Every structure is written in C-alpha cells, then in structure tokens.
Amino acid sequence: MKSIEASPELTLPGRKPIQLVDENGSAVGDLPDERVLRSLHRAMVLGRRFNRQATALTKQGRLAVYPSSVGQEACEVGATLALEADDWLFPTYRDTVAVVTRGVPAVETLTLLRGDWHSGYDPHAYRVAPLCTPLSTNGPHAVGLAHAARLRGDSLAVLVFMGDGATSEGDAHEAFNFAAVFNAPVVFFIQNNQWAISVPLSKQSKAPTLAHKAIGYGMPGYHVDGNDAAAVYTVVSEALARARSGGGPSIVEGLTYRIDPHTNSDDTNRYRDASDAEPWRAADPLLRFNRLLGVDESAYAEEADRMMAELRAEMNKDAHVDPDELFEHVYAVPTPRLRAQAAALRAELAADRGDA
C-alpha cells in the first residue's frame, strides 16, 4: 500500500477530497490489498442491513429511537476496520455500525437506544467507549485515555468519531488542543454528513473544509471522500499508525451525506429538498464497491439474513430490567440512603403485585 504522505510542514488539506475509488467503481489510486477490500465490502453490506433492520425495529416499537447511518457506511466501516486490536474507539450515538463492526454484539449495541440501560456493553471487553449522546464530550475522554496509554508506554491509538455539527462545540476545540499539546495518539474522525438535525454545514463553520481546522492546532488534516471506504481506510490507517508510533494526533474529515432523517422521529422535509439527496444516492458507497469488486450484496446475503434474524429474535425478547439495578450502580457500594430507597421500591412493587 502506498502511503498518503502527511508532511508535517504541509498540513493544508486539499480542496478536493482524497479518493481511491471513484463513483463508477474504478480505482483512481493505490488500493489496499484484495483481502482488505473484501472485508470493507462485507462490513458495509452488513452495516447497511443493520441500519435498515434497526429502523424497522423502531417502527415495530421494539427500539425507542434510531439514528441511521445509511449512506455513511464507508466512514463507519472504513475508519473502524483501520483499528488494531489494542486500539480504542470512541463512538457517538450515530456510530452503531462502527460499534458492531468492531465486534460488539448488535443487541448490546442497541441497548441504549432501546432504553433498557444507558450502555449495553462492557467497554473494556471491546475497547469501545459507550455510545456518546452529548456532542463532542467524547473528544476529551478519548484524549485522556490516549494520553494515559502513552504514559504507561503502551503503543495504541484512539479513534474518536464526531459529527460536523459537533465540531462547533467547545469540547471539540478543547479535545483538539489537548491532543495536540499532549501529542496524544488520537485520530479525530469528523463524519461530515453535512447536517446537524436541521442545520446545514454552512451554519456551523466558515472553514474551507473541516479538515482545515487541524492547521490551527498544529495537526495534519485530511479531507477524504467519505463514501470511498478504501480512501477512508487508507488515510485513517496511516493516521493511526503515525499516532501509535509517537507522531501525534490528526484530524480526518470524511465528506459524506446523511441520507436518512436525523433519527426515525425527524422529518427531513421540514428543512431540506428531496433533490438535495439525489447526487448522494448516486455516490452510494456500497454501489461503488459492488462495481469495483464485481460482486453485489447477495455475496453476503446469507450471513446478513442470519445476523438480522438473530438480532430480531434478541430484540423480540422482552428486556426485563430489575428495578433493584437502579440503585446498584450509583456508587461501588450503595449508600444507606440508596439501600433504603431500594427496599422501599421493592416493598412498593410487592404491594402492587399484592403479595404484601
């Protein structure tokens, strides 16, 4: 794989996004090897199915809310597959496809959105932080973890996702700045899907690209075609590798588009024209790989069917959360006050059941 040079002197990202596979599925740069291309393709197909299935589950009332990443799978998958086993991922609420791509079971990924608990998986087991709802607050967390790893002498890198709107938050600035000053092994992946609920990118930022923001912090910034999984994978891999070997943080902007509403409960007709999405449907990341590799989704249909059937079965089980759990995770040892409240709730529930 030929490297995409990030010269420390020349950190200005290009206006034209870095692309390795064009919209017709033709290679226009040095591609990762065949095995990588196939795993990117597979993960995107599964990711698309996951998006569709999760949205269907909201309609059936099995999932409270779902922020879909349809059309953004190349970012979700390309950046995540660039991680090595020891690396960490800090996702947002939109990055469920990244989280399942990292190996977290689908049903555990959806626990937050279903509403049985605020996070469904063990972050240490998968090296994936909980899905983050407040915007950009995951940035400083990622920097802290990365800094701690470096202090320990561990060579790992941290990938943190944020949206284009999220880059306006103060915490994004603080995270960029701390990472640069600490020389922390962090890659900020800005998934620029061009909308923050109803607000377009033009109302979030005046920068030529979001990647340009890197310059002010003294980091390299890359502007990548976010619908080209090969380009995302290659650029993020290099940025992570440099971070791991002490080369410091960087910002990667994946230029993509939010095809679906913000979540299932949002209505895009209230703020954008249907025609807005048209060119982006043509730029679909999956179509591009179907063409590149000469195979379509059906190559993974059986596997996808099986995964989705499992997910549906899991989601159809009535999740029972023990009310006692309310009190168990506030402190390592519940306070006397919490113990009394737990007892009161148990008594109340027993009375409701009529066994008191």
Ligand X SMILES: Cc1ncc(C[n+]2csc(CCOP(=O)(O)OP(=O)(O)O)c2C)c(N)n1
Residue numbers annotated as active site = 258, 262, 271
Binding region for ligand X (CB under 6 A): 94, 133-135, 163-166, 193, 195-197, 258, 262
Question: Please, which of residues 280-339 interact with another protein by CB under 8 A?
Answer: 319, 321, 323, 326-327, 330, 335, 337-338
Tokens of 311: 């997910």
Interaction between residue 168 and another protein (CB under 8 A): yes
**CB of 11 or CB of 191, closer to ligand X:** 191
What is the CA 265 to chain-centroid distance, rounded?
20
- Using only C-alpha atoms, the chain has a radius of gyration, in whole angstroms, of 21
For residue 122, the partner it binds in another protein, ligand X, none, with Cβ less than 5 to 8 A by kind, is: none
Residues 6+ apart with CB under 8 A from 316: 62
For residues 250 and 188, the answer to whether their CB atoms sit within 8 Å is yes
For residue 246, the partner it binds in another protein, ligand X, none, with Cβ less than 5 to 8 A by kind, is: none
For residue 103, the partner it binds in another protein, ligand X, none, with Cβ less than 5 to 8 A by kind, is: none
Q: How far apart are CA 113 and CA 115, in angstroms?
A: 5
Question: Please, which of residues 188-247 interact with another protein by CB under 8 A?
Answer: 196-199, 203-205
Applying CB under 8 A, what is the total number of residues that bind another protein? 39
For residues 112 and 91, the answer to whether their CB atoms sit within 8 Å is no
What distance, in Å, lies between the first and last C-alpha atoms of the chain? 70
Q: How far apart are CA 98 and CA 80, in angstroms?
A: 6
For residue 19, the partner it binds in another protein, ligand X, none, with Cβ less than 5 to 8 A by kind, is: none
Tokens of 1: 């794989």
**CB of 49 or CB of 262, closer to ligand X:** 262
Question: Please, which of residues 82-121 interact with another protein by CB under 8 A?
Answer: 93, 112-113, 115-118
With 0-12 / 13-18 / 19 or more C-beta atoms within 10 angstroms meaning exposed / middle / buried, residue 346 is middle
Q: How far apart are CA 112 and CA 102, in angstroms?
A: 17
Minimum CB distance to another protein, residue 171 (Å): 7
For residue 129, the partner it binds in another protein, ligand X, none, with Cβ less than 5 to 8 A by kind, is: none
Q: How far apart are CA 228 and CA 22, in angstroms?
A: 8
Residues that bind another protein (CB under 8 A): 64-65, 93, 112-113, 115-118, 133-135, 165-166, 168-171, 196-199, 203-205, 270-271, 319, 321, 323, 326-327, 330, 335, 337-338, 341, 345, 348
